[in-house]
Structure 1
Amino acid sequence: MVPPPRSGAASVVVKGRLYVFGGYGGGTGRLDDFFQYSFETGQWDEVKVLSEAKPGRRENNGVVISDSSRSIYLFGGYNGSSWLNDLWKFDIESQRWTCIQESSDPDRADDANAASGDVPAGHQVRGKAPSRRFGYVSVVHEGKFVLFGGFDGSRWLNDMFEFDFSTKTWSEIDAKGSLPSVRSCPAWAKDETHVYIQGGYDGVERKADFFACDLATYTWTELPCYGTPPSPRYFHSCCLYGNKMYCYGGYSGSERLADMFAYDFETNHWVQVDCSSGDAPSGRSSLVAQVYENCLYVFGGYNGATVLNDFYKFRLKPILMPPPTLVNDFSRMINNPDLSDVRFLVEGKDVFAHRSVLAFRSEYFRVMLCGGMRESLARQDAGTSCVPSHDLQAIDLPNVSHLVFLKVLEFLYTDSVKDVSLETGIYLLIASEQFMLDRLKALCEDLIRRDIQVENVIGILAAAHSHHAAGLKDIALEYIMRNLNDPVIMAGLADLKSEPDLLLEI
């Protein structure tokens, strides 16, 4: 059962299904029907709603999925006579709608289509709720519903709100950074940390700018746009796939568009994607566009003459390529007794590893484990049979801490290190020299130089000099020379009396 024609419908993909709610049906007015499409079976079905209460007719609202992928949330929109700011939750498992907040407009005549059925009295919602609006941006992130911008019937907006589901409280967000100007109907998409918005309309002109908002700090950044960016537009859609964001369709102010663009987050370049092959969709705005696996799906919209219910699939990649797992798999081997064949004793604690990995990654360990040193003879004489890891003869490493040695192993298994403090970084620099790991040494130098301050630069210079970290030493010297008159640095130079060569260089 294919949904009837519509534009401005809300959509979201959850657990292998595309959900579509409402929209504008042309001659049938605004809609309140609810459909789902199974990507596995290729079938459309109307969602069976078991609750009496449900959202009323509307368009240009958004639906978003909860962090648990169990609940779908819907806010506001336009019902043909009034803008709305009600908030609803649909539980996918129980198939019931719950009204969290009713629309605030006191004019009940205009509010007739905000809800259908009897809405039971719920918990009191606290705080200042957003005004009624449509064409906004909405996401759910870490237990909060986040809202940006839109149009309230008289004003284009760039305000920002969050609703805390646990406390049922609205709060206006004091966003930081390069906040987008007022607008409605941009395209937007969300990943694990950011929401991205592109384009939109401010009542005067269509937009082509591109922003990212860090959802942990609510800090906006305007992203650089090199290459061939999309022309100004609104009522378009965008989706994330891999390290790219794809934008499709929309309205330029004079034309419904059928072009596609991809933004590469690594290079900050836009490129136009050739999507003309095959049975391509006509130009359209207010469409549904979602990514599932390696395909972009487009449903419905408005082509300038009529609303649509055609349905298309565009392969973003010919073959669905699972993400690489090598680094993650190797990280699971770090200090893992399973299948290990060497045991170190570091600060009295066992650390397990694999001889072949260490020997191929480090000349130091190759000599230690395979080159005739005493430690290389510590292997149990058990032929090809597996020796229980705790029965392996331990190799004592007295000159490194347990924490630092685990970081050394992290580098040997993954070629990188994460979450290293300045203090740990200095000790890791020392260990990298001991274990003859030039890349790890450079990574430590780069990490340390980012935290250079007047209070620590003398100690960093001394450590770099002692352990032959030439790049870090040069950076520390340059920092000292730029701040030579600082009293903290002048006092610190007295600590270098034991290093006359360094004092001479300064």
Structure 2
Amino acid sequence: MHTSDYLPHRRQILVFRGGDGREYLNDLHGLHVDTGRWERLRCSGTIPEARANHCSAVLNRHLFIFGGWNGQTRLNDVHVLDTDTMVWSRLEPRGVAPPPRAGMTLTRIRDRLYLFGGSGPAAKCFDDLQILDLKEMCWTEITSRSKSGGGGSSGTALSSGSGVGEERAIPGAHLASAAENSGLERSRGGGWGGNQANPNDEHVTESVSIWGEGPGPRAGHSATVLDRRLVIFGGSHGSRYLGEMFVLDTDPVPEPLVIAPSCAQLIGSHLRHYLDREDFSDVTLIVEKRPVRAHRLVLSIASDRFKAMFSSGFRESSEREVEVEGCSFEVFKLMLGYIYTGEPPSALLVGSQSDPILAAELLALADQYMLDHLKQLCEARLTEEVREDTVDSIMDLAERSNSWQLRAVCRHFVRNRDERHASFASSF
């Protein structure tokens, strides 16, 4: 019900009293670690009201007290004691203060106080992490909450900007189940378990996000610090006593992100802008007496037919203009659009209401220029057109264009049609 903190410069353990079974107290006592002698310490200033089940932490020569229970209501006030002058002050941090509570923990890591858990009105337990930035004297906003893990609660997971240790620094410790992706990260984020952006790389206090699954609601637990890690153990929630351990890495190793597009991605996304453009074009294809500017390298990568055309020894390899015969300008332009964008023409989309003759002509051209993916798209589109009055012509097209999948569909149609006819004839 009380708190105790060691002050190295005083060589004392300071105990801020809770209740003694009869009343709530607010006196301060010090135990000299060298002599084992107790001393009641005289303080002045704005002394915290009597309370129990509060929490405390030390930064340098200052003792911080938060919340607790005064016998009538739960508290969420913050007081600080200057242990040189022994003067108490009440702090009024900016930001949204945590809800009143008791039985929580307060842990100092660097210039931050980490408040976790506790019980509120009607014995409701909290599973939130609250952070008081002592440099800014501001409660930090916690964002990016996810479902909590331990304790089997349905509360929210903690959110701030770092990671939880994947290494099992403490034998038997139960790390967050999302240990590979949690940690504190300044709005930017943090977490129970893994690597995220380092919140200490720049001074930002607006918000913090925690990744990973943190402890469920609880009170009466313990919290300690191991290097930069906050370790939460045990506690209770209702009638259940909890025994798992969670570790929050408040300053994880930054994980370099590879998010810039690769060269291949850049080429793929920009290539479409060079279709029939004069920029860098080195060949003009003449189709039905109409020019289409293109790039030998692009065409050769996509099509072995083009590659052979532009290889040494062929007339097309040295000519600036190349005549293309045997197809319409419209269909040839659709094929080039596919090569430069990688996207199928709208006429080939399944369910398209476009003229199937366009898909048939594109199928023949795709076979001629050895564009297998485009050819398969054409086959898929034309299978929708297989019926009694078209199956023979589509079968003939499939044979001429080496479209074995389309041919198989036609043969399936004919086979089942003939069986139906035979069955119908035998019934008379």
- For the superposition of Structure 1 and Structure 2, which TM-score range results when normalised by the shorter chain? 0.3 to 0.5
TM-score, normalised with respect to structure 1: 0.36
Structure number with the higher strand fraction is 1
Which structure has the larger Rg over C-alpha atoms? 2
TM-score, normalised with respect to structure 2: 0.42
Structure number with the higher helix fraction is 2
